[in-house]
Amino acid sequence: MPTTPETGEARVQIQPGFAWDGQDAYLFDIDGTLLRDTGRIHMSSFVAGIRRVTGFDITLEGVAVQGNTDTAILREAWRQAGIPTKVLEPQIGAILEAMGQAVQERRHEFKLLLMPGVKDALSHLARRGALLGVGTGNLEMIGWIKIEEAGLREWFRFGGFSDHFPVRTELIGHAARKARELAGADARVCVVGDTPRDIEAARANSLPVIAVATGNYSFDELLQNRPEACATSLADLLAHTQAAQ
């Protein structure tokens, strides 16, 4: 699978004393951090899922999706359409299932691009004995389909998803607890993401964070949120570390 081209100046900033590749476990965001979906398979599943279950038509126009969770996006699109919440909530489980099924049916239509340095960074962390998981606003079925179609499944042992957690801070907290169940109660868990919401979620759970400017936010925008490590890409972060050795 091709990677996106690296453009612009490579920039890396790491807070003193933070070993970005010395943590026990990592929670990787998917969209914008590991990969980019250049098609509309995932986004179209919201419309398809709601239509299948309720017959209503909705749009995601005007709904904030960057750094958001699928369940929160669904509720906001529903609210924006002016449909009463009491109509949605009894059917939300069926809608989420229908969204996953809609993606499953079209999974081979995905056009996914890996972000720069993803496989090298995952390999580097795995060689150092780190436990790798995902912490994503995707629904679980959709998240794993993306990981599989991108050729990354071998690296990840667990995940935290938005099926039961509309708020990102909650799903990250859940994923961190799962990480410590697998890696030990005192395991150092680190979040890796591409949006201020990833940083906020890490902070809310007292976790360090690596921010990468491979999504819709620039290096400077992410740096303003004071992540423990900030880089223009995982490739640049890895190269920075190798050059310093």
Give the CATH number for residue 219: 3.40.50.1000
Q: Is 135 a domain residue?
A: yes
CA dist., res. 192 & res. 195, Å (int): 10
Q: Is 3 a domain residue?
A: no
Q: Is 213 a domain residue?
A: yes
- pLDDT tens digit string along 10-28? 999 999 999 999 999 999 9
- What does residue 97 show for φ and ψ, rounded to 5 degrees? -65, -40
Q: Are residues 116 and 83 in the same domain?
A: no
- What pLDDT sits at residue 5? 42
6: pLDDT strictly greater than 50: no
Q: Are residues 52 and 117 in the same domain?
A: no
Q: Are residues 238 and 161 in the same domain?
A: yes
Q: Are residues 156 and 67 in the same domain?
A: no
Give the CATH number for residue 51: 1.10.150
Q: Among the three residues 54, 84, 109, which one is the final residue of a domain in this structure?
A: 109
CA dist., res. 190 & res. 209, Å (int): 5
CA dist., res. 164 & res. 171, Å (int): 8
Looking at the structure of the chain, the number of domains it has is 2
* Residue 162 CB neighbour total at 10 angstroms: 27
Band the pLDDT of 87: cuts 50, 70, 90. Answer: confident
Helix (H) or strand (E) holding 182: helix 168-183
- pLDDT tens digit string along 41-72? 998 998 899 899 988 888 888 888 877 899 99
> The dihedral of CA 131, 37, 194, 198: what is its sign?
negative
Q: Is 7 a domain residue?
A: no
**Cα 221 versus chain centre, distance:** 18
Q: Are residues 34 and 84 in the same domain?
A: no
Which residue do the tokens 């190798």 mark?
242
Return the biggest CA–CA distance within the chain. Answer: 59
CA dist., res. 183 & res. 118, Å (int): 22
Q: Are residues 80 and 55 in the same domain?
A: yes
CA dist., res. 6 & res. 118, Å (int): 12
Contact predicate 95/49, CB 8 Å:
yes
Average pLDDT over residues 211-234: 97
Average pLDDT over residues 216-240: 97
CA dist., res. 31 & res. 209, Å (int): 16
Structural domain harbouring 74 = 41-109
Lowest mean pLDDT across 60-64, 159-163, 222-226: 60-64
88: pLDDT strictly greater than 90: no
Q: Is 146 a domain residue?
A: yes
